[in-house]
Amino acid sequence: MQLLELLESKRTEVVQRWVDLALSIYPEGSDSFIGREKDRFRNPVGTTTGEGLNAIFDAILADRPAAEVEEALDGIVRIRAIQEFSPSQALGFVFLLKRAIREQLGDALTDPSVWGELSDLHSRIDQMTLEAFDRFVKCREAIYDFRAREAKRQTFSLLKRLEKLPAQEGDSHADGGTE
């Protein structure tokens, strides 16, 4: 049996294990809620992650271009970019697919006839990781730009209010005096 056929036959198990591994980054206790709650509004992290990983898995198996899974990848990366994860923590979920495959296929991967396909699959996973990294950096840049603009706005607003305040009695700087 070829690797892609093995993966198709174990698709549910591989993807579920990948989702579990990807969600293990969250604090103990919350990962069970995030992994089990199916309501998109009560659990946007879990549903976005689960749906996204399913779509990414299918795209990787079908060797589709990364552009076809942009939305799925983008959703997961955006969520992780706004959280306080390091880049390696936030993007490690892509590499965890390799572990999920190893765990679910086990001995079948020792057959030399699948090594070529496995190498190709690992290359596609690595490429997806690079795409995720590019997205992550863009998201973080947008967050930092927003924070910088907000800090400027607040500073400008504060300075504007200070100029409108009347001079305080005994404030020698207000009337141009020096100490």
Torsion angle of C-alpha atoms 112, 113, 116, 117, degrees rounded to 10:
-130
pLDDT digits (tens, 9 = 90+) for 59-98: 888 888 777 778 889 999 999 999 989 999 999 999 999 9
Percent of the chain with pLDDT over 70: 86
**Averaged pLDDT for residues 9-13:** 94
CA dist 55 and 148 (Å) reads 35
**pLDDT for 31:** 54
Residue 165 has pLDDT above 50, yes or no: yes
The whole-number pLDDT of residue 33 equals 66
pTM of the complete model: 0.77
Per-residue pLDDT band at 155 (split at 50, 70, 90):
confident
